[in-house]
Amino acid sequence: MTESVEMSTKDVRAELADVLNAAAVHGRITYITSRGRRVAAIVPLEIAENAERSRDDTSP
């Protein structure tokens, strides 16, 4: 199972290099929150590419 964490936009700004490294090396998903609500995610490249392929496979 893939590890995931939530971080505020402020914390992501301060720790961006570490967040990117955690995605690339450890496969961690980081959900970015604003005012306690998830607004985006930093995901490992493999997950993003698989999502794109899935979307492309189902396009008309």
By C-alpha distance, which of 33, 36, 58, 43 is closest to 4?
43
Look at residue 1 and tell me whether its pLDDT is greater than 70: no
pTM value?
A: 0.85
Query: What whole-number distance in Å separates Cα of residue 49 and Cα of residue 35?
Result: 29
Count Cβ atoms within 10 A of the Cβ of residue 23 and give its class: 0-12 exposed, 13-18 middle, 19 or more buried: buried
pLDDT tens, residue by residue, 4-58: 999 999 999 999 999 999 999 999 999 999 999 999 999 999 999 999 999 877 7
In CATH, 4-58 is 3.40.220.10: no
Question: SS3 sequence, 20-53?
Answer: HHHHHHHCCEEEEEECCEEEEEECCHHHHHHHHH
Q: What pLDDT, on the 0 to 100 scale, is given for residue 60? A: 66
Q: What is the DSSP letter of 9?
A: H
